[in-house]
Structures are given as C-alpha cells and as structure tokens.
Amino acid sequence: MKAMTKGRGVRWGPFILGRRCKHAAAELGDIYEAVHAETGAPSLVMIPKPGSTWHPRRNWRKSTYVQAFPPLLGMSMEESPATARLSELTEAENLLLAAIDAVGHDVRMRLHLTRGLLSWRKWWPVLMGLALTGLLLLVLGGCVGWLSRGRAVDAIEPVSVAVDSEKDAPKFAARAVQDPAVIAYPLPNKPFKSQARAPCPPERDEAEINGGCWVVLERRPPCLSDQAEYKGKCYLPVASDQGPRLPQSVSP
C-alpha cells in the first residue's frame, strides 16, 4: 500500500490533523490534535506506526453519550460491518482510552478537547487556505488602483490594559477561552496570587516566565481578553492547585 503523508494540516479520513502530541507509549503510534472536517468538532486521532501491533481491520463509526440528567451512558452506531464481532469494537475503544491516558498530562490537548467548536476557528485557515489564496490575489489586484488614489481602510488600534499582579488572573489554563472580541492583557512582571510558581515541569508543557508557570498557546497575537501577550505569543497562567496529575502512559 502506498505510504500516506502525515502532519499538520493533512486530511486523514474525516479529520484534519493538527499538532502531534509527545507521549511515552510508543506502541500506540502517533497521537494528534485534530478537528472533524465537516463539523469542526475538536478531536483526538491515533494513527498506527509501521511497528505498531494494532491496525483497524474494518470500518466502524459511532457516537458516545455521557449525560448527567437524565443520567445515562449511551452509544449510537452509525456504521458497522455486517459480519463484525463486537469484540473488535471493544479492542478499538480500549486503544482510544489508552491514547487519552497517554496524553492526559498534555495541557494543550486538554484545552483543545474541552473548548468546543471555538477551536474550529484555529483550523479554518487550514481547510480554506488554498482556495482563499487565489481569491485574495484577485481582490488585491482589483484594489491596487483604488489604493493608489489615497483611499485606505481605517484600522482599529488595540488598547493596552494595565494589570495588577496582586489580584487573581482573569483566567487560568484549566478553563476554556470564551470571549474573542477583547484585547489581551500584558504578561505581569511577577506571578498572580493564585498562579503556580517555579519550578515549572516542562513535561506538562509549562514554561517559567517572571517566576510564574505559563502555558504557551498556538494562537498568535492579537490574543484574547483572558490571555497574556508576551514576546509575540499568547499565554495562560497555570493555577497553583491543579489537583492530582493524570497518568503519563499506559499499556493497551
């Protein structure tokens, strides 16, 4: 079978691949942040390597439901082989659970999976970039004469906001981004009151800046209102109380 190219921005089945996550369970293969190409839903995708001991034999597709009220765990089967054994599906589900455990320490993966369809905005340029490039060239060509007559589009200047580091941060890394309309705050010169302080574990994707622990985001400025902007990157502060750490690897 012809080898397929993997990597950020590549269409893989119904998904668009994003960042590849580092993990210790090498037998699982490659684990990626992803989005569903049709719905924009944040997703996790695991792809076997040549040396992996698993490989899907047939196509399955289902939806899983975990509901608090009325309480239920449910499953809706959307596609299944006519002569399949349910044990095949069980094996696949166990592998996916192992993948989630393997990247459970990854703060960026947790933010990706829990922020809902908002993360679709980050991936929209990946899906539409090629088509928009051609359209943009046409639009820019038609605007040359208009711009030469001295007409320009007014730009909105961002407004800097002063931040008192003695108070709590507007948001910590454990929560999702909500408001995309307001300008970010500058990174303070010392940690917030409830922010985790150095040393910051690099295996949890935490960086030490001005004595505090921060998570760098893939988003680039302009950052959102509850994010800090520092040296051309967007950051979220890490809360001092993160609870128990998740396992970093698991054997399927």
| CB-based contact 173:111 (threshold 8 Å) | yes
| CB-based contact 40:16 (threshold 8 Å) | no
Q: Rounded to the nearest 5°, which phi and psi values hold at 42?
A: -65, 140
**pLDDT tens over the chain, length 252 residues:** 456 778 888 999 999 999 999 887 878 889 999 998 888 889 999 999 887 888 888 898 988 998 888 889 999 988 888 887 888 889 899 989 988 998 988 888 888 888 776 444 555 555 555 345 556 656 665 555 555 554 444 545 555 556 666 666 766 665 444 444 456 788 888 888 888 898 888 888 889 999 999 998 888 888 887 888 888 888 889 888 754 444 444 444
Residues 6+ apart with CB under 8 A from 42: 33, 34, 35, 112, 113, 114, 115, 116, 117, 119, 120
pTM strictly above 0.85? no
Buried b (16+ CB within 10 A) or exposed e, 209-247: beebbbbbbebeeebbbbbbbbeebbbbbbbeebeeeee
Taking alpha carbons only, the member of 204, 202, 133 closest to residue 174 is 204
| CB-based contact 217:230 (threshold 8 Å) | no
Encoded amino acid at 47, one letter: I
**Domain residues of the chain, as ranges?**
1-68+86-139, 162-241
The two three-digit tokens of residue 156, written as one number = 């909105």
Rounded to whole angstroms, how far apart are CA atoms 198 and 182? Answer: 29
